[in-house]
C-alpha cells in the first residue's frame, strides 16, 4: 500500500474507533434503562 493509503487508514480508524471508545466510556453517566 502507498504511504497515503496507510495514513488514511490509520487516521480514519482513529476517528471511528476513538469516537466509539469515547462514547462507550461515557455509558452509564446518564439515564437508566428501566422505567
**Residues of the shown chain interacting with another protein in the complex, contacts defined by CB under 8 A:** 1-2, 4-5, 7-9, 11-13, 15-17, 19-20, 23-24, 26-35
Residue 10 C-beta: closest distance to another protein, Å: 10
Residue 25 C-beta: closest distance to another protein, Å: 9
Residue 1 C-beta: closest distance to another protein, Å: 5
* All three cell numbers of 6: 496507510
Q: How far is CA 17 from CA 12, 14, 28, in A?
A: 8, 5, 19
Give the C-alpha separation, 35 to 32, whole Å: 8
Amino acid at each position: 500500500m502507498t504511504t497515503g493509503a496507510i495514513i488514511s487508514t490509520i487516521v480514519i480508524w482513529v476517528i471511528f474507533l476513538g469516537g466509539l471508545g469515547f462514547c462507550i466510556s461515557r455509558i452509564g453517566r446518564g439515564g437508566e434503562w428501566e422505567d
